Amino acid sequence: MQVSDGSGPAPLAPQDAAATGAALAGGNMFAAVNFVVDGKETNPGSGGGYEFDGETAKGIYEEALTLAERYRDHMQAANDLVMYAQPPAEDTASVRFTEVAQRSWQVGAEHVADLWKFHRDLAEKLGRALGVYEEAEDRAGKDVKNAGGRDGNDEGGFVA
């Protein structure tokens, strides 16, 4: 853990800096994060990360997808509010008040957009992790079936 020397905030750990840089550049903020689902890593060899069993990872993935959809709808509504807000009259006070309100709503809309991106990126990365996990499970199931024979006979054979 990085600790501040008292002159300002603590420096970011390399993986946090990479994730922050990716997010600011518009990339997936979880790109550098290693998710381990039932022992299968999304970023093999990177070490660390977050470890889940398949069921937990799938639950988090589904919740992140649901939240991303919800925030996408809220983001659109917030952007519409900013875009279509009009002063009740063309006097200076009404116009200035509406401008200040629009800026405030814009900040809120940007925050909702960040929440949408966070949940979308999380769902995307976990979805890939689950794909790796499910693909490995499917392959293992086929290997077992082939090793034992297709119809109960020993036709599948043992592969050394």
Tell me what pLDDT residue 143 has. Answer: 66
CB 36 within 8 A of CB 50: yes
pTM: 0.65
CA dist 130 and 62 (Å) reads: 11
CB 85 within 8 A of CB 101: yes
CA dist 37 and 137 (Å) reads: 11
pLDDT digits (tens, 9 = 90+) for 48-90: 789 999 999 999 999 999 999 999 999 999 999 999 999 999 9
Domain ranges of the chain: 14-139
